[in-house]
Structure 1
């Protein structure tokens, strides 16, 4: 006959079985021992890391990546604009002009940009060759 875990376990109190749940409290000693072991391991790890850091004797950071805090730092990117509507229109006009014109991307490599409408026409005429053959 197979064991399904429904039988009365050894040491289970008859009152607990009758109530349908454990009436006795959890033993606190194993819980406190586990907590003490965890804190002891944390303290030990802290001591080991501290000893290793002082044993190495040099900073763990690479100073080549340190920021020079003495020089004034100017924020990069877009700054506060005096008139955002005018600047926004200028940006849109420049982008539209670029998208609707011909020009060199890299003259040395022979790469150009063409208007979007013309590129769509060329794609319809020539098709797409994904492998560039």
Structure 2
């Protein structure tokens, strides 16, 4: 882990429990939400004590936008969704993180937000490995 810029940053325990690592980007950790109901990525900027988007300086905000763009294109390429939901809520986990969720007209929560609609369905181990491999392959291509 690159520590020299991020001396006090660590992943919130709830995010660590709910997500799996996909990639280490210049600003953020790209992680997969452990919910097989939806292709659902989380970007977590490695910025100590960041709670809101406004807690990031302008260069960090610009980098986060680039990474949101990259993650959005990754979801479009890998999953061909009908819609992307992109949101920074942080009502339950204060650490700044951005949700990027591939949505379909036929998914379990459509047209509502994914929160509070359906119970999360953790990936089976094999399915989890396959999904992370798919994402990493799409990133590498």
Q: What TM-score, normalized by structure 1, do the two folds share?
A: 0.20
The structure whose Rg is larger is 1
User: Which structure has the highest helix share of the two?
Assistant: 1
Q: What TM-score, normalized by structure 2, do the two folds share?
A: 0.19
